[in-house]
């Protein structure tokens, strides 16, 4: 069983809609959770991080964390074609220095 | 802004060659990482280092070694390149205080 699981997609949403990206993780001791965006041919860039249960909002992005369910999600409101990318979920375990990544969800926002 | 710089954007090497991939970060980060990324497999950790001259194996260290002689520089070495090492290689760094990793631009290595 992979430690960090994401639906690979592809996920398609129309412009202006809400895109919902989901991630589950297996290590109950995980402390830190991250969402990266990766455009084709480019390296991942950090867009959100969350450490505590609940919601964290930053502009059009909302990260949601539920440690009891071992679930983290990313909502993108008012999706734009420029949001089309692969979104990577990453988790850091309790005492680890490194991040473990999911395999990513490919999002396409249709004009 | 954090800057992580990888020495090459694209590399083509022959089977059996010794290959060096270099990575430099300018933010005094303690931790540095090498990942490879392949379609459908996501990012997989090869090696990481949490201090000068210190290294830890990641999930897929076979066929690779690393060197960290200075805090800002982390090198990945393919001792004898093979075609199954054709991949995108990503270097990243982070601090102990903040866990998020910052990535270099990536090196697309092709072994022929």
| Mean pLDDT, all residues of chain B | 94
| Predicted pLDDT at B100 | 86
Size of interface A-B (CB pairs under 8 A): 51
Section B72-91 average pLDDT: 97
Interchain contact A31–B (C-beta under 8 A): yes
- Mutation choice for A interface testing from B29, B32, B37, B43 by most A CBs within 10 A: B43
B102 and A88 within 8 Å at the Cβ level: the answer is no
Weakest-pLDDT range from A39-48, A90-99, B68-77: A90-99
Tell me the longest C-alpha to C-alpha distance in chain A: 43
A5-41 confidence digits (pLDDT tens): 998 779 999 999 999 999 999 988 888 999 999 999 8
B104 and A90 within 8 Å at the Cβ level: the answer is no
Closest Cβ opposite residue B48 in set A98, A101, A102: A98
B57-76 confidence digits (pLDDT tens): 999 999 999 999 999 999 99
With 80 as the cut, is the pLDDT of residue A96 above it?
Answer: no
Which residues are CB-neighbours of A77 under 8 A, at least 6 positions away? A18, A60, A61, A62
Closest Cβ opposite residue A43 in set B50, B96, B103: B103
Cα-only R_g, chain B: 13
Q: Which residue has the higher pLDDT, B1 or A58?
A: A58
Closest Cβ opposite residue A44 in set B41, B96, B103: B103
Count of helices and strands (H, E) across chain B:
0, 11
| Predicted pLDDT at A2 | 63
Q: Which of B77, B100, B106 is nearest to B4 (CA)?
A: B106
Q: Which of B71, B67, B72, B69 is nearest to B25 (CA)?
A: B72
Exposed (0-12), middle (13-18) or buried (19+): which is A1, by Cβ within 10 Å?
Answer: exposed
Residues of chain A contacting B50 with CB distance shorter than 8 Å: 97
What share of chain B has pLDDT > 90, as a percent? 88
A90 and B94 within 8 Å at the Cβ level: the answer is no
B9-43 confidence digits (pLDDT tens): 999 999 999 999 999 999 999 999 999 999 888 89
Instruction: DSSP for B3-56, please give it.
Output: -EEES-SEEEE-TT--EEEEEEESS--SEEEEEEEETTTEEEEEEEESSTT--E
> Hey, CA dihedral for B42, B46, B48, B52, is it positive or negative?
negative
With 60 as the cut, is the pLDDT of residue A1 above it?
Answer: no
- B103 strand-pairing partners: B92
Q: What angle do CA B63, B30, A62 make, to 5 degrees?
A: 95
Residues of chain B contacting A104 with CB distance shorter than 8 Å: 42
| Predicted pLDDT at A67 | 94
A32-38/A85-92 β-pairing: antiparallel
């Amino acid at each position: 069983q992979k430690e960090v699981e994401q639906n690979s997609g592809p996920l398609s949403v129309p412009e202006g809609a809400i895109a919902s990206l989901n991630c589950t993780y297996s290590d109950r001791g995980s402390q830190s959770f991250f969402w990266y965006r990766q455009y084709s041919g480019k390296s991942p860039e950090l867009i959100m991080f969350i450490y505590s249960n609940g919601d964290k909002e930053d502009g059009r992005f909302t990260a949601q964390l539920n440690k009891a369910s071992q679930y983290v999600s990313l909502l993108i409101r008012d999706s734009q074609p420029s949001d089309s990318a692969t979104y990577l979920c990453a988790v850091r375990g309790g005492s680890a220095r490194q991040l473990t990544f999911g395999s990513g969800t490919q999002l396409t926002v249709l004009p | 802004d954090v800057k992580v710089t990888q020495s090459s954007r694209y590399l083509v090497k022959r089977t059996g060659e010794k290959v060096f991939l270099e990575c430099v970060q300018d933010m005094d980060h303690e931790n540095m990482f090498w990942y490879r990324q392949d379609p459908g497999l996501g990012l997989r950790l090869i090696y990481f280092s949490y201090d000068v001259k210190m290294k830890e194996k990641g999930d897929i260290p076979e066929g690779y070694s690393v060197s960290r002689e200075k805090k800002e520089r982390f090198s990945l070495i393919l001792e004898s390149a093979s075609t199954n090492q054709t991949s995108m290689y990503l270097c990243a760094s982070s601090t102990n205080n903040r866990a998020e990793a910052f990535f270099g631009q990536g090196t697309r290595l092709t072994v022929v």
